[in-house]
Structures are given as structure tokens and as C-alpha cells.
Structure 1
Amino acid sequence: MDVFMDAVDYLEAQQISVEDVGEPRPDVFEEDGFTEVFTEETNSFLFSPLPTNCIDMPDTPVLRSPEPVLDRRLMVLTAFLDSEKIYLNELETLLMPLKALKASAGTSQPVLSSQQVQTVFYQVPELRDLHRDFYTCLRARMGTHAETEQVPGAKLSLESQEENEAGLWGLQLTVGDLFLKLVSQLGVYRGFIENYENAVDIVRRCTQTEHRFRILAESMMSCNGSDTSKTKYTFEALLYKPLDRVTKTTLVLHDLLKNTPEQHPDHPVLQEALRLSRSFLSGVNEGSQCKREVTLSKGMRRQLMRDGFVVDVNDGVRNLRHLFLYTDLLLCTKLKGGAPGKQAQYRFCWHLPLAGLKLHRGPELERTMDTLHRIHSLRLRMYEQRQTMKPCLQRAMAARSIERSRRKMEQLELSFLTLSPLLPLELHSPSGRSHTLVTSSLYELEEWKEAIQKLTKDNIETVPPDVLTLTNSCVKLRMTQQPPLQSLLPDGDCCVCGTLGVVIHSACGQQQLAGVYVCVEVDGFEFYESRAQTHSSVSSVRPQWDQEFSFLVDGAKHLRVLCLSQPQEQRCEDTVIGKASIKLDPDILQKRWKRQTVSLGQVEVTLSLKYCPHALAPPSLVPTQQQPIFGMPIESVAQQEGVLVPHVVRCCAEEVERRGLAEVGIYRINAGAGDITNLKTAFNTSLREAVSKLRYVDVNAVSGILKLYFRELPEPLIPTELFQSFAKALNIPDLSSRKVSILSLLQYCPPVNQNTFLFLLHHLKRVSEKKDVNKMTLMNLATVFGPSLLRPSAAIQGQVSPPVDISQEVVVQVQVVYCYLQCDNLPESQTWLPHNTETSEDDEEITAL
């Protein structure tokens, strides 16, 4: 009633007749332009828009010049900024008792249980953070005007008046992207709204039964605006504030759009923001109606749990689709976009019941050469369009020019988004129907997989849907409003542009032995490769990789880290045992390596990050390939990879240990020449591709490619000038003295040669530990590797090395390796070059977002 009377007073002050405005019904409270109807039967609420001639927003008269319109626009923004500050104070007041109630929940006499605390404050911290960011950005945009104009209509300074008279400041002030970002995250409000009734019920019951909570709930004080006065609220009244705010934001967008000239850069953006906000409110109504209309088994109701854009592959044809996950089914639709400010439409494609649905993450798809060239061409065109857009945004050019550039960029990104994904998720229904969805991000794929599996575990029976009605409701129910295009995101947010270095060191926290690897992904404009993964570790509870990656990024905001476990059986898919998303803040990242620990649930991954901001060169039309590694000096390969043991040696050795220790004659039985050639080509062109292929080829091909690598080194692993020294050391009669002499010769080897040799020796000793099964003794292994690792000097500048009989040469080669393998005090190898990291006493720990 107070809001109603305030509106009447406002209309009278504007000399608008209020004779036709009737009293609201007792069960209907009209506030801020939206009607909230509480029904006793359902104990639910609905939002519905009032007519366009809303009582608190009279139409603005058409003005001949833009200055009065811009002045009115500034008044709307200033008033909304003040109300936003009040709302933030109310949310802070609501969250004030959260810490104490959480602490009490763990005692013998809790005020509220842990579950009750979680229900009462559900999504409130997220709402606070969302509006805090929005308020901070909006206040910064308005600058001194937000500080000087505390109330609408306050006088500006002389300089500001001159700017406004010229219309420059009003035209240059853009806030549409901030409002668009705000409404694009209204999904947070959906969770709060769905939980609201449960939260209020707990507050009411506990207020009556628990005197400690009653005292708290009836005496919550909040600052009223910028002054020091405080307003007293009940707990229940504060819980209502977000419901009030979500409608008020829509009304402000309506008023702001009316007072924004069509030529203003904000006009099309505010149109889209208003459409999304209205769509969200309509979706709340639709969701409430759907819950009452469709009841599933076990008393559950059909609800929208998740939606997003994926690529649907059908007979090799790719199509971008909007996928909706309900509590009992998957609905795939085609989005037919409307004009700016108008509602989009959906067309039904297919649906699958969740009951009995089987999921399988298939192997990564391969691209044809034609597809590769199309992708690289798209990347180059996206990059060039991005460079074209930057000056337009910086100079606040005409809205039409900016909008034209954005649309062109969107089309390029849509083509890239449809063509580039390689990670398939196969869906198999008991009815025999199957569909394959493809994503670019393993993190996103896993999110979908977890969401679907969580619902299928409940074994929900399916109520056959009205496909037409369900598809038509998608416009109002959707939470994801747009495809994940970088060009649609608001400008000005913190992001990184330049070179991002990532080193994956190790992991801990596994409950059992397993071969694992780590996958890392970066977001932003995908002008360059954005995914990489380490090689597979041997079965260990504390695997170590020390593998470095370098990403060229533009607009990146998050680094996603996933840890995957490989099954013993090759046909089983890899299992994600933990994942996390790290926010990339350019103000925190440093040019020096910074070591930190990331929590991925039960697993913790230690990594290092560094960031070097700089302008990016255009992506090449020709796919960039790494330098070949076979036949190249081992020092140059190690330097290229930033390690002390080349990845080909580590990957092959660890793959042999993972599935070849029980193979009879491992390192003696040769594999097919085709497999060896394919692996060699893969290692010479793409380490990522080679690591993927290692898992599926015959393990004898893995051992064969390792032997081939050492045979094709232009210089043997043990320098040739040490051959005579090793031959003399073998003549020492005493075995202990001989071993000491042999070990001392290692210090004359270059660091890469020394550490690679030690790594190989430890690997061969682990192979020999299974000699009862694989029949490979230390002498057998020394016989296989000796001639590849140690060779006498060749003729150099006309001088011939000391003569060595061929039989004596082989004996020296085998005996040197055999002597090393017999050493019990063999030094451990270092696999990577220590980075210049900055760490505290304890590694900085990052929790998954």
C-alpha cells in the first residue's frame, strides 16, 4: 500500500490524473511495475508486467533536442546508483549473521542446523558479489557525476554543464554493457526465487520456536543510503528484497531505454538487456506453471536444470544447437534469433528421456586437412576483425558502425564454434536412439556429463512431454541467453592478452595407484591453440610431470585445470577425478614464475604461472608445427621443451611401465614398421597427438620408438670422447672401485645427457624387477640399449680414434650399461629445469571456483 500511495503522489506531482487508478486488491501487491501474486493454494508467486503506461513510469514527451533526454537519462542512472547502494547494504545486513549461524551449527545447541543455514542464505552471497561488481563499475563510469549528484536534479559544475550543453559527455557515457552483463547473470536469481519459499518457511518456524533466532530475526539494522541513518528490518523482509530488486531492474532498463537516443551506442545494448530481463521474469512465471502442470514419479516436478549451446553431429553434419536439461529429459532445439529487442523462437530437433540414458565420452575427433585450413582461415579473419573493432570501441564511434562490426565478428565466431569442437559426448537411449554432442572444452563437457549423470542416478520415470509446448516455453525458461561468443561479452572486464606460461609440476591426494594426466584450457578469443595436456604418468599416488605449456591468449579470464585417470583396460574412457577454474587477473599475474597449489576436490595439483602482456601477432594460415625431435641433438630438443629429459623419453618409458612390464620380451620384440613410422611422425609434428596415440598402439611399438630415438641421435647419449675412459674403467679388478669410477665419469656428461641417461637407467631397473614375467634381465636390457647409448669416436679432421676391435666395442657398450644397472646408489635424475619461482613458505593454495 505504501508503494501504491507513493506512486499516486508521484503522478499527482507530475499533474497526471489518478482518478482511474483503483485500489489494489488485498492479495495483490503492485510494486515497481510488476505484480506479485501470492496464492494460498500453491504458496508460490508470479511476476507479470503491468501495461506500458506503468504508474511509476509516465511516458517521456518527445523532445526536439537530445540534451534534455540525456539529462533525464543521467537522473535515472544517478537515482538507480543510489538505490543500488541501499540494496547492497540490505544484502550485507542479511548476510551479517551467516558466520555466527554457521559456527553455531557445529555445536551441541545450534540455532539453525547446517542444512537450514544453507537453505536460508542460498545464493545470497552470489547476489551480493554480483551487485557489488555492478555497483563498482557503474559508479566508476559515472565518475564525479555520481558523487556530485546525490539526488536527481542537482546542479552540475560549470564545466560539466558545458559538456552537457554540447551533448558530448552524455553521448560518451556508456553503461549498456554493464546492464547487459548484469541481466545475463540473472540465473543466480532463479535459484534464489526457487528457494525463497523454503527459506521463508524456515525463518518463520524458527522465529516461533527458537528465542535466540527470534531476537536476531527481529532486530536487523541496515544503513539507509549514503547517510548514517539506519533502518530496522525483519529477517523475512530482507529475504524479500531480491524479489523486489529483480523487477525494479527491469523497470529501470525500460525507463533508461526511453531516455536514450537511438543514435546513442547504448541503445541497441539496452534493448537486448531489457529483452533478456523481461524474458527472465516471464520464465519465472512459466517455470512456476510448468512445476504445477507436470508431476513426475516420486512426487518430483519437471524443472529446467541446465541449458547451453553445443554442437550436434548428425551423419557428419555439424549444427549449433541449444540444449535444455530437465529433471527427466534432454531437449535439443534450434534457436531462431529475432531482431534486436524482439523475442527469439525455438524449433524442436529431438529429445531423449533420461531414464536409462547411457553416456560415453568418445576419443577426440580428427580433422581433415581441409577442415584445418578452414579453421586457421577463420582464426585469421576473427583476429583481423577484432583489430578493426578495437578503435571503434575506444573512440565511441557511431552505434551502427559498432553494431555492424559486432555482427560480423559474431558470424565468424559462430562458424568457428560450429567447426572447431573435437570432444564428443555420446548419448545412447534404451530405445535405440543415439546422438553425439561435441564441445571444444573438456571442462564444459564434464559439466554436462555430471549434470546428466546426477539426474539419471535418481532413476526418474518419464512423463511424455508435450513437445510443442515444451519447446515454446524455452524462450522464457532459458538461463543461457546467447551462444558462448567472446564478442558478446561486455568490454572492459579484467582479462589477459599476451603469453601465458603454465607448468604442471605434480599432483597428490589420489586414493589408489593410477596413471593420470592433467589437461589445461584457457578461454578468450581462440585465435591460437587453447588446450594442452601432460603426458600420462606411471601408476602413482603422487605423479610428477614438470611439463611446461605456453598459450597465446587474447581476452582470457579463466584457466581451467582437469586431472584425469586412465583405466587399466584400453576400451574404458578416462575418468575426470578433479577439476577447477582459476580466475586470471592481470594485476596479480607476474612476469616471473609463481608456484601455487590448485585444489581439484580430493586431488591437489601444483603448478606455476607467469604472464607477459604484449600485442599479439596474427595467427598463421598454415598450422604451426613444432621442430622435429628425431635426428636432432638432444640438447636442442631439451632446450626447445624447457626440460632436462626430453618428453619422448619420459612419455615412452612411463607408457611401457603403465602397460608393458608384464609383456614378454619387452624391448626385444619388434613392432610393425607402420606403427613405428606413425609414432615417429606424430612426435616430430605434435607432442599432444603423439601422447594420445601412445595409449592405443601396441606397447612394443612404444618400446621400439624409444630405442629408435636413441639410435638416431646424431651424437650418442654418452659423449664419444668418454668411450676410452669407460673402457679403462672396466679393467679395474675390484667391483666396488669399478662402480665408483664409472659413476664419477657421469659428471663429464652435459646436464641433459646425464639426466636422460639416469632416467633411462632407473626405468630399465624397474622393467627388470618384473624379469620373472617379462624375461628381461639387467644383462638383456644392457645388450639391447648398450650399442645405442655409447659409441667410440669417429674420424675427425683426418685423425682416427684409437683402434677398437668390433667385438671389444660391443663388450664395452654392454658392460658399461650393465655396470650402471648394477649400482644400488644410482643418483636420481632431474627431469626439468628449475623455474625462477616466487613462493612463500607454503605454496599459495587456490580453491576450485
Structure 2
Amino acid sequence: MELFEDSLQYLISNGIPDVFGDETDWIPNITEEVASLPYTPTCNSPEDMLDRRLQLLKEILISEETYLNELETLLMPLKALRASAGTSQPVLSIEQVQTVFYQLPELLDIHTEFHRNLKAKLQFYLDLEPGLPLQLSHENLDMTVGDLFIKFVSQLGVYRGFIDNYENAVDIVKKCTQSDPRFRTLAQSMKFTKGSDNSRAMYTFEALLYKPLDRVTKTTLVLHDLLKHTPADHHDSAVLQEALRVSSSFLSGVNEGSQCKTSVTLSRGERRQLVRDGFVVEVCDGGRSLRHLFLYTDLLLCVKLKCGAMGRQPYYRFCWYMPIAGLKMNWAAETEASADLQLKISNMRVKVFHLRQTFQQLMKEKKDSVCRAADRCRRKLEACESWLVTHKPSFILELHSHSSKSHTIHFPSFYELDEWREAINTCKAENVETVPPDLLSLTNSCVKLRMTQQLPLCCLQPDNEKNSMCGSVAVIVHSACGLQQPASVYLCVEVDGYEIFDRRAQTCLSSYSLMPQWDQELELKVDGAQTIRLLCVSQSEEKILGRAIIQLNPVDTLKKWKKMKVSLGSIEVMLSIKYSPHLLEPPSSAPLQQKPVFCVLIEDVARQEHVLVPHIVRSCVDEVERRGMEEEGIYRISGASNEIQTLKQAFNTNYWEAMSKVRSADVNVVSGTLKLYLRELPEPLIPSEYFQRLSKAMDLSDTNLRATTMLSELQSFPDVNRNTLLFLLHHLKRVALKEEMNKMSLSNLATVFGPTLMRPPVVSLDQCALSVDISQEVEVQVHVIYLYLQIPNLPEALTTQPLDTEEDS
């Protein structure tokens, strides 16, 4: 709509006569906003609605005939201009001809086909004698035309090219009209047949060139009016709603890219461009409120959306503005909510889940009473979802101006926050001088200028069940490369859809390296998800290193892992994604608590983390290898007992707090925590039933046979035990390579870890077993680990289960 009004004003200001004619009489008031989708039909009787619908279709057909005449008139000079382009005195060059008539033949073909098909549908009614009652003319008044409109709007992309090229085409027409008398004569005398009397209207070239621009805005209005007079139980109702959604989405995209829409003239003659806008949550006076934030080339403007009275447009009320020059930003994740707020959020998610189920069920029925119930349910869903967006934990952006003013805003998405930071920094880099705005005019213009039309609520978006996901999406983050310098980083994964379940998960912090390795599985329950957003973050620098969006395809990732390489700027991340559709259970009303890892069976820890080597083992090993390999007595000299207990508590309750402590703790505290974890396993890492078997293998005199037997026993361990032990053995062998500095030989390491990793089975009173004294027990424990450390061809450890994957780039 904004594009239409701006273009109309442009033509009037340039003295171009009325180019719209009588064919717009049936179009609703163009200054009114198109109602939000889907549209509820009027309450007239079905017979009256069908009667008015037929009249509308006839008027659409007449309007199409007029438009086709306009396009044909516009294309009439094309052949002559092309021919002259090859002469010594061309009117237009071949490049100019291509620019002026760009996409016009394609538009003519699209509308010719649409007109032909619509006329065929209406032919019976067009042949009726005037005055004959419609209800007596044919038994099938509710003919279907939705398929014609859905096919037509699917081709609107052709208009995108025309619109993008429009300014260039008009510029050539203007310049050539002024400079070439031949073209001026042509441009000022173009006529086309109009009306039943075969009269000829005279239009300028420029006025006719505007016609397609006008037409694309009419499409949405036509569909809106047609849907308004289509009964809810009509075959066309759902199809026309989808066509209206596609048309509105296309028009919204046109408006977002329209230069005349996104700029405001300043008092000094400069242009203030709208760079970005969107809804955010502002913290003000201890409360939280939804606000609409506008980023211009020189300032940030925050306004509050107010709904107008009945029949009036919504409007904005000014809240504050901040100049871009000198603006400072700090961002952080919100601290954990209070227990009371967490409970409210959990309860609200359960409520949204049930409202969503009810709404979906109601939408499958098409009775008038059901439609009203569905509308009430949708309004409740909108209110609950708004509360969730406002109150759930989010990401904070603190804004500080040079005048000491500060504002705190929250973003529901980490990805969205980074987009805003990048856009603001880009504006700061351009160093545009802030011109004091006319706040009243600027605020009033927000409705016209805005690119974001709706609140960020899923219930306001049209359902697209075909391309959205409902069930579980699992993402395995394998590794990354392309870091400019070594860093400890993590990957944040976000999905869209309803706020019923947590829509964000993140990997653990990687080791300090150029090529981080995670092999970590993240699982998210989703409802309505269509995209995944990825961010690579360096925690130490609080810096986002790269981001990317992946469009989810339910078919490609259905029940089978799909491996892909994703580019996040200069960083490339290897991922595997799998989608498992299933009915969703209501979310738990109690906030999720992290399960402890100490004193828990290692297979249970690995299962809840979706890995083969628990994170606590990998993170402690990575930290020792980062800064403890040359530490004398590493693994022999223990750290402070109270600090080890503090780190143990952190791993049991808050993994992210534990990772932060690991990075700063004394390295002997880290190694001591690892030993404590292995020592407190309810079942030892080397299962107790293997104690006697390994003891016998140890006594074999043939070294090759002994190594083969011990490797065979190792291969029969449970998956988690085997891979965790291999992971540790390879690490200890790397420690021993630094023996000259850390004084830890293979023998010393076996002495430290033997009793930790291996224990004899516990014998009950009613069982008979060979008694093993303590000295023999320790000798077996140490010797077995020592022999494993000496095997030269130990298999590599797997940190995650091998996947049945399909490669993708």
C-alpha cells in the first residue's frame, strides 16, 4: 500500500494526468490497510455473498481486459525501437530498449493466460440475458476460481524484476523524452482502446509504464475483497487465503525494498534512510513492554504501537531516540530467572501448548460457530504468546549515548541481537551527522515506513504445515575450521516456531585451538519450525565470530542424518541434522534441572549428553593439554581439596559455570577433578567382570599374544567404557611424551590411574572367589594400565556414535 501511495504522489507531483481511470471503482479505499490474515467472511447470507462474489469476478475480468490493452499499447513501439537500435541513428540503444521493456512481454503472457482462463470460468454467466435471476440461471453458483488465482500469484516474482528495474526504465524515458524529439512524440501520443464504444484514451509513455506497478498493489486488494465475499465453507476459501498470503508477502517484500518507502527528507535536504526495524522488549521502570525499534542512518527511534479506534489505522507514540554517533553497546545473556518466574513461564508454555492444539482442531472444521470459537482461541493464543515473548529469558543489549542516557532492550533471539548490533555498527562506521529530528513527524511516519508489520508471534503467521516441522530436531555439531587465531568457542543453535519448548541450545566450550572439535548432539522439540540459526561465539572475547541460517527441509532430513558443511562467514562448521516427526507431549510444568554427573553410571551420563565420552572427561583433558602438559607432577600432585569440591559441585549443577571455573582454576585442581570423577563412578571404567580376565592376559609370556588378548578384551567393553578408556589412554600417552618436563612417565601414570580405572568385583558373603590381597590387587591394576599404555596401535576413540548420514554442502 505504501508503494502505491508513494507512486501516486510521485505522478501527481510530476504533473502526470490521472492514469487510473474508472477501472478502480470496484477497489476498496486504498488508504486503508489490508486486514490481517486470514480474513473472516462477512455475515451476509451465502446466497448474497455468492451473488456479490460473481459481480466482483466480472469486474475483475473487465479490469483485466483494460490492463491487457494497456500492456499491449505499452509494447507496441517495442518492435520499431528494436529495429532502429541497429541503425546509424537509433532512437534508443539496444540496452536501453531492454531496460525500458524489461519483463513486460512476460507480464503480458501471464495476464493473457489468467484472463483467458477466468473468462472461460465465467462464460456461462456472461452469456446470460440481463435481468435473469442468478439463482435460477445455474445450479452451481459456487464455482471455483481459487486455482486460477493461486497459479497467478505464484508467478508474481516476474513483477519483482520489473519493480527493481522501474526507476531505471523511467529515468531512460525521461531523458530520451527531453533529448530526442522522435521519442518525445512517441511518448506523448500513446493511445489504447478503452470501453465498449471503442474510444481511445491518450496516455504518456511514463504513465503507461507505471501501470504494472499499480497492478501489483491491486492484486492483494482484489484477493482481499474476493475472500471477503467467499463463504467460509466454500471450496475456494482456503485456496484464496493462501493466495492472499502469498500476494501480501510479496507486496511486503516490495515495500521493504522500496527506496521511496524507506527514506525521509530532513530539514537540511538530506535523506534519512530506514535501515532496519522490528519489535523488541524494553525494560522500563522495573517492567517489560513490547516496543517497535527503528534504526535510521543517524539515529535509533523507539516507539510504542497503539491500536486506533474502530475503523482507524494503528499509530505510534514516541518513547525515546538516541543518536548513532557515539553510541556504545554491551550485550549479554540474561541471568537465570527467579524460581517464581520460571514456574510462571513453564505454566504459560503448557497453556500455549493446549491452546495451540485446540486452535488446530477448530481450524479443521468450517462451521460459522466454529470459526468464531477459533477466532477467540487465536486471540487467547496471541495474548499468551505475547506474554512469553515479553517475559522469557532473552539476550540483553544495553545502549549508552554520549549524553549519559541509557536504555536496555531484550531480544528473544541471539541471532537477531547480532543482526541489530551489526546494523548499528555499520551506521556508526558511515559517520552520518545526526540531524535533530522532528519527532512528531518522524513518529507519525513510522506506520508508513515500517518494514515489520506484525508482532513476532507465530499465531499471527499463516500456517504452512507442508514446510514446517513438528517433533524433534537433532543437531550434531562436529567441528569447525577457519578461526583466525586459537580460541575457546561454542556454537549456539536456535530454531523458530512456537515458544512452547526451549528453542535454543548450545555446545560446550571447545578447547583452546584453531580447529575446535565438539561432536556434541543437541536435541530440540519444535512446533512450526522452518529454519535453524547458527552462531559461533568466542566466550573469552564476548565476540560473535560468525552466523548463518539453514532452511529446514522435512523431507531431506526425515529420520536420517544429513551431514553438511555450513559457512558462518570465514568459519566453516560441520553439522549433522535429523528430523523425527512425532506427536508432542505437553511441556513439563516444572523448570528443567541439570542432572548430576558425579557418582552416576558413566553410560547414564553419556546417554543424557548424547555422546560416547562424557563432557566432564573431555573438558578436563582439553584443559590439561592446553596448559598442564609441562606442569611437573601433573596427575601426581593434587590440587586443593576445597577447590576440587567446588568444581565438582559446579559440574553437578551448572555446566556453564563449571566450564568457566575450569578455564581459571589451577591446572592441578582440574586434573584432580578428573581423577575424582573416575574414582567415584559407581562401576569402574574398566568393568569389574574383566578384572580376572585381564589379570590372566597380563601373565601371558608371549608379548604379541598378550597385546592381542588385551585388545580383544578391550573391544568387548561397553561402547561408552571402551571409548572413554581409549580417550584417556591416548591423552596419557601424550602426557608421557613431555616426561622430561612433567616427570610423568608411563609407569608413573599407570601407578596414578590403575586403582582409579580398575577395581576387582565385589564378592558377596554367599559367593566363593579367589581371594586377592591388596598388594596383588594394586599390582594388577597398575600393570594392566601400563601394558595398555605400551600398546603401539591402540584404536582411536569415538566421541559420538557413527551416523547413517547423507553428505550435503
The TM-score bracket by the shorter chain reads 0.7 to 0.9
Q: Within 1, Cα distance between the matches of 2:151 and 2:636?
A: 66
1:373 CA displacement: 0.6
SS at match of 2:278: strand
Q: Partners in 1 of 2:372 and 2:248 — Cα distance?
A: 19
The answer (yes or no) to whether the contact 1:758–1:829 under 8 Å persists in 2 is yes
Residue 561 (structure 1) aligned to one of 534, 539, 551 = 534
1:353 aligns with 2:326: no
1:347 to partner: Cα distance: 2.2
Distance 2:16 2:263 in 1: 9
Counterpart CA distance in 1 for 2:594 and 2:124 is: 62
Partner of 1:483: 455
Distance 2:286 2:225 in 1: 48
Letter in 2 for 1:349: C
Greater mean alpha carbon deviation, residues 448-457 or residues 672-681:
672-681
Name which of 524, 536, 544 aligns with 1:575: 544
CA distance in structure 1 between the partners assigned to 2:274 and 2:711 by the alignment? 67
- Residue 632 of structure 1 corresponds to 600
2:32 equivalent in structure 1: none
Q: 1:503 aligns with which of 473, 476, 481?
A: 476
When residues 658 and 79 of structure 1 are mapped into structure 2, their CA distance, relative to the original with a 3 A threshold, is: farther
Aligned partner of 1:338 in structure 2 is 308
Provide the secondary structure at the position in 2 that maps to 1:35.
Answer: helix
Distance in 2 (CA, whole Å) between partners of 1:175 and 1:708 is: 71
SS at match of 1:610: strand
CA 1:808–1:355: 2 relative to 1, 3 Å: farther
Task: Please state how far the C-alpha of 1:591 moved relative to its aligned partner.
Answer: 2.0
The letter of the residue matching 2:265 is K
Give the AA of the match of 2:493.
V
Deviation at 1:477, TM superposition (A): 1.0
Does residue 1:551 correspond to 2:519, yes or no?
A: no
Deviation at 1:716, TM superposition (A): 1.0
Identify the match of residue 520 of structure 1 among 493, 507, 513: 493
Q: Residue 406 in 1 paired to residue 374 in 2?
A: no
Distance in 1, matches of 2:54 and 2:446, equals 36
State the shift of 1:739 in Å.
6.0
| Contact 2:16–2:207 (Cα < 8 Å) also in 1 | no
Measured in 2, the distance between the counterparts of 1:46 and 1:340 equals 35
- In the other structure, the counterpart of 1:306 is 276
User: Given the superposition, is the C-alpha separation of residues 84 and 175 from structure 1 closer, same or farther in structure 2, using an over 3 Å criterion?
Assistant: same
Partner Cα distance (1:419, 1:705) in 2: 37
How big is each residue's C-alpha offset from its partner over 1:541-583, in whole Å with a ceiling of 9 and x where there is no partner? 44433322322211111122333344xxx3x204232x22222
Runs of at least 5 residues in structure 2 that lack an aligned partner in the other structure: 30-41, 76-92, 129-133, 180-204
Q: What does the per-residue CA deviation read over 1:745-802, in whole Å, with 9 as the maximum and x for residues that have no partner?
A: 5234333212111111223344555667766665554444332112233324544654
Give the Cα separation in 2 of the matches to 1:371 and 1:815.
55
Q: CA RMSD in A?
A: 5.5
Name which of 441, 446, 457 aligns with 2:413.
441
Q: Matched residue pairs, number?
A: 722
Please point out which of 585, 590, 593 is paired with 2:553: 585
- After TM superposition, give the deviation of residue 595 of structure 1 in Å: 2.8
Runs (5+) with no aligned partner, structure 1 = 1-29, 95-111, 210-234
Aligned match of 2:35: none
Paired with 1:818 and 1:376, the residues of 2 have a C-alpha distance of 52
Tell me, yes or no, if structure 1 residue 370 matches structure 2 residue 347: no
1:491 Cα deviation from its structure 2 partner: 2.4
Decide which moves more: 794-803 or 590-599. Answer: 794-803
1:844 has 2:803 as partner = no
- Residue 432 of structure 1 aligns to a residue whose secondary structure is coil
How big is the shift at 1:480?
Answer: 0.6
Aligned to 2:572: 604
User: Structure 1 CA distance, aligned partners of 2:678 and 2:137?
Assistant: 74
Distance 1:339 1:262 in 2: 27
The residue aligned with 2:801 is: 833
How far is 1:421 from its partner? 3.1
Kindly tell me: are residues 64 and 829 of structure 1, through their superposed partners in 2, closer, same or farther at Cα, counting changes over 3 Å? closer
Which residue in 1 is equivalent to 2:428?
456
Q: In 1, distance between residues paired with 2:5 and 2:326?
A: 46
Choose which of 442, 453, 457 in structure 2 pairs with 1:470.
442
Of residues 295, 299, 310, the one that matches 1:325 is 295
Show the counterpart of 1:614.
582
Which residue of 609, 614, 621 corresponds with 1:653?
A: 621
Cα distance in 2 between the residues matched to 1:47 and 1:526 = 52
Q: Provide, for residues 212-258 of structure 1, a one-character-per-residue CA deviation record: whole Å limited to 9, x for no partner.
A: xxxxxxxxxxxxxxxxxxxxxxx999985763344323542674477
2: CA distance, partners of 1:709 / 1:782: 17
Aligned match of 1:431: 403
Is the alpha carbon distance of 1:289 and 1:445 closer, same or farther for their aligned partners in structure 2, counting shifts above 3 Å? closer
Using the TM superposition, give the Cα deviation of residue 162 of structure 1 relative to its aligned residue in structure 2, in angstroms: 10
1:445 Cα offset (Å) = 1.7
1:421 correspondence with 2:393: yes
Partners of 1:436 and 1:50 lie apart in 2 by 48
Work out whether residues 666 and 776 of structure 1, in 8 Å CA contact, stay in contact via their aligned partners in 2. Answer: yes
Preserved contact between residue 35 and residue 48 of structure 1 (Cα < 8 Å): no
CA distance in 1, matches of 2:256, 2:412: 32
Mapped partners of 1:588, 1:80: distance in 2: 41
| 8 Å CA contact 1:280, 1:477 repeated in 2 | no
TM-score, with structure 1 as normaliser? 0.70
Corresponding position of 1:711: 679
Q: Any conservation in 2 of the 1:78–1:149 contact (CA below 8 Å)?
A: no
What TM-score do the two structures reach when normalised by structure 2?
Answer: 0.73
Task: Give me the whole-angstrom Cα distance separating, in 1, the residues matched to 2:744 and 2:162.
Answer: 64
- 1:365 to partner: Cα distance: 2.2
> 1:500, 1:612 within 8 Å by CA — same for their partners in 2?
yes
- Counterpart of 1:350, as a letter, is W
Which residue number corresponds to residue 219 of structure 1? none
Q: 2:366 aligns with which of 396, 399, 415?
A: 396
2:47 aligned to 51, 67, 77, which one?
A: 67
- Equivalents in 1 of 2:301, 2:122: separation in Å? 49
User: SS at 2:8's partner residue?
Assistant: strand
Greater mean alpha carbon deviation, residues 797-806 or residues 471-480: 797-806
Q: Tell me, what secondary structure is at the counterpart of 2:303?
A: strand
Matched, 1:290 2:261: no
User: What is aligned with 1:18?
Assistant: none
Alignment of 1:143-158 (within 5 A): 149=121, 153=125
Higher Cα Rg, which structure: 2
Q: Distance in 1 between matches of 2:586 and 2:553?
A: 24
SS at match of 1:585: coil
Mapped contact 1:47–1:285 kept (Cα < 8 A): no
1:366 and 1:765, CA in 2 relative to 1: closer, same or farther beyond 3 A?
farther
Q: Which moved more, 1:650-659 or 1:517-526?
A: 650-659
How far has the Cα of 1:688 moved from its partner?
Answer: 6.7
Change (3 A) 1:268 1:758: closer
